[in-house]
Structure 1
């Protein structure tokens, strides 16, 4: 993706707006509760105070909950935030597949079933918000060989299902370790990968070294603590702010033009994710964003809305 010079260096914030479930247990179609949306309005006000728009990627339980739709309808009244889609196949009709780790990655489904689930979600979001979504994420980063074509046929412009530096193949998902964080055009869409940065004295060896260290007991931890190699994702969830700030500096200095941040909406209320278990964790979560927004402003990295990104695509 060749960004125009006028775009500068920017960042965007994706929110996986989704139902609550116990991350330690097997996936279950019965888990459709959305009570954590009670914390969304307050969090949105905090982001607005920093001039940050939210790209809200919502799944089927959210799109079918009138209370959640009402909350998000007020969010997009800020004129900058936007509603996109996130496909969790195990809670998204039609339910023609067993719930297994393999089928939790939508790209593994039969082509007709993946298409039907995308249609069900897209149409529901369009009906709820009066506008067809143009940005998509496969839940669990479950993009498959047909996903981009299916999205392009339905009018999507952007996919954000790729997580560079991560490998989900152990339970049937994609392996993204060969990819970097740069945006790229593919099949009529633009892919905006979640930003992953390798830091440390051996960072030039990046993903191959990180992959090799995974085969050595405690290898990754030893190298990280020694300042040799760390894999940093731009998220407040289980990522210390000091490490994330260092990653931002590395990415900007390396010429990455669009940084992509992400978090899960259930983290906005304690007790729903492993990352925010209590009030102290929630305070740290909000403090993380306060410090990050200040640092980005200091580095001259401005927030980009989905509209800004689409305009830059030409």
Structure 2
């Protein structure tokens, strides 16, 4: 950053040899990430005082619903949650299932040490390297203290990875990064540009990158990576593409993504062999009404759970099996060693 201007960060597109070719024995798998975080007004400026975590009271019941179907949750925990004793107790009970795990999620505006805010600073990768490193150290140490194990997986809040992030993670023993949101571009808000990166897991230096899965559907889906950015330059271009059935970009999340579109995306990704590993994600405050734009009331919350019920039924029919962070680390290491 210079003079308050943020230069957009475009992570390098993985080379073909860096894309992980999961073996046939891996089958089709999926993982569910939860951004376990504080509650705040998404439409307001970020404020370090907003550290409430009351929605964590809904986490045990949510965890039970997933655990009953054999699904562990990859809990990407940020500083306000890891600082709250009650929330830590809840998460320690969750990871006792042997399938769920704790990763790190960095929200720089509520993660010390603090510095005067500059444009774009809600994306940790835009911070000066020393400050990004100090915030990462604070969070990593806090998670180690709270859960008795150093986190091995990381997600930058708001997907705000930067040019120094992967090196900082590797230096601290992280093995997985999940900060890439495939085919999305956040330059308009000062964030990174992932539009050239697809959904396949890949090696990024010493890390394994697991992007949030994005699937193009529609009659022109094969042209999605090139055509979708072009449609974005036209008034209502993306809506026109989706409405006519030509092209739609679908991220695997229950938040603002209709279930019928998500089901079509999953059937396409698995049925056409596009993906062997699907990555889903949602925010923990969506487990209670009134904390996110996606779950404003009881009706929204009911739709949230209907989304998951239908999606998990679909994954069962397609023989897609849940996996965990530890299993992915082991599988990727085995491919390297083979």
How big is the shift at 1:101? 4.6
CA RMSD of aligned residues (A): 0.9
Deviations 1:189-211 (A, max 9, x none): 00000000010011111132211
| Cα deviation code 1:153-212 (max 9, x no counterpart) | 101110000011110011211010011000100110000000000100111111322111
Compute the displacement of 1:232 (Å): 0.2
Q: Counterpart of 1:197 in 2: which secondary structure?
A: strand
Partner of 2:254: 236
TM-score (norm 1): 0.98
SS of the equivalent of 2:87 reads helix
Moved over 4 A (4+): none
Residue 160 of structure 1 is matched in structure 2 by 178
Q: Distance in 1 between matches of 2:278 and 2:46?
A: 31
> Displacement of 1:59 after TM fit?
0.3
Q: Equivalent residue for 1:218?
A: 236
Matched, 1:111 2:135: no
Q: In 2, Cα distance between the equivalents of 1:262 and 1:22?
A: 20
Deviations 1:123-151 (A, max 9, x none): 00000000000000000101111111110
CA distance in 2, matches of 1:221, 1:67: 43
Partner of 1:57: 76
Aligned mates of 2:26, 2:209 — CA distance in 1: 17
Alignment of 1:178-257 (within 5 A): 178-252=196-270, 253-257=272-276
Indicate yes or no: 2:103 matched with 1:84. yes
Aligned equivalents of 1:95, 1:188: Cα separation in 2: 29
Q: How does 1:137-156 map to 2 (within 5 A)?
A: 137-156=155-174
1:33 maps to: 52
Which residue in the other structure is 1:11 paired with? 30
| Unaligned 5+ runs, structure 2 | 1-19, 334-338
TM-score by length of 2: 0.91
Q: What secondary structure, in the 3-state scheme, does the structure 2 residue paired with 1:78 have?
A: coil
Q: Give the Å deviation of 1:81.
A: 0.1
Residues 259-278 of structure 1 mapped to structure 2, 5 A cutoff: 259-278=278-297
Aligned length: 313
Deviation string 1:246-292 (CA, Å, 9 cap, x unpaired) is: 10111112331110000000000000001111111111111111111
